[in-house]
Amino acid sequence: MLRLNGHPDNVSRPPFGVIAVHRSEENSALRCADLFCGIGGFHVAARNLGLHVVFACDIDEPARQAYEANFGLRPWGDITSIEPADAPDFDLLFAGFPCQPFSIIGRQRGFADPRGTLFFELLKFIKEKRPVGIVLENVKQLSTINRGDVLQRILDDISQLGYSVDSRVLNALDFGLPQKRERTIIVASQKPFAFFDWPTNRVKMTPLVDILETEPPASYFVSEYIRRKRQEAHTPTVSPAIWHENKGGNVSSHEWSCALRAGASHNYLLVDGIRRLTPREQLRLQGFPDDWEIVCSDAQTRKQTGNAVPVPMVQQVIERMVNHVGQHSIARQPATPQ
């Protein structure tokens, strides 16, 4: 089990732009915590909005290496080994807490799965640090498992700590990314609201051709056997397209990608039925900038992007949360891939 790795006191700037924050000199940018941080989708969104991430944690060592390489902030380790009082204070809490207990790919055991109980580690941080705003992300199935009882339990637990809470299923396709990725987003605020101001304007999708690399390495092309098998099973109507083979062996293709998955087979998604997505393409599908430094193996990056949160989607939610708590205004910056 990974253990606490010391206080991340020295934080350097990431290698991509930061927006100026409109606050008085005596008040620095809102401070954020990034729990179950993965490679930092929430962090990219926060930096795009001029916020300052002061604390992160994740149990996965390769993800922590990628996070540190790109943000200069070393995430702490296993959240169950961290005392919230030992972490820096923060104003906003972000977390993509483990989704496997609630995922359609898994058994949807919810809180019966030990990983599901990691949500209660979040409650410890909320109780201790009292953030003014909270944004959480999980799989779409969190909203429906046990007829919605699991989600309601989560909302009730946060509400009992004195927060207004709301939730909604959002799709990355509606935020400019060519990836159908539906996620349950939970928001909470100390400042009361009757209904949260969810983003509703659909952003034009970035064309898939703008995501794909023009000269992918030969190693990403599948064998002639796999290519022929796919072509025998499916006739596409658009190109370029991402071909998707589901668990039943059915093949479909779209001008967008089905959701990236951390544990999927290497040939789960194929570009035009002939090659796998490159690590850079996977990062682009999640909204990470092109100057994101890839420091892990292809296998680890595939896992990391499959676990990541879509940056443009959570960026819009975070922006509305910050505007709701009213502590500073945010200059807009598109988070869609370039």
Give catalytic residues, as residue numbers. 99
Q: Which residue has the tokens 């350097």?
A: 12
- The region that residue 176 occupies, defined by phi over 0 for left and psi between -120 and 50 for alpha, beta otherwise, is left
Do 289 and 281 meet the contact criterion of CB atoms below 8 Å apart?
Answer: no
Tokens of 26: 């005596």
Cα(143)–Cα(327) distance, integer angstroms: 30
- What secondary structure, in 3-state letters, does 223-258 show? CHHHHHHHHHHCCCCCCCCEEEECCCCCEEEECCEE
Cα(162)–Cα(144) distance, integer angstroms: 25
Cα(309)–Cα(95) distance, integer angstroms: 10
Report the side by side order of strands in the sheet with 242-245: 251-254, 242-245, 269-271, 275-276
Tell how many helices (H) and how many strands (E) occur in the chain: 9, 12
Partners of 93 in the β-ladder: 33, 134
Cα(161)–Cα(142) distance, integer angstroms: 21
Nearest to 304 by CA among 138, 67, 116, 115: 67
Cα(107)–Cα(4) distance, integer angstroms: 30
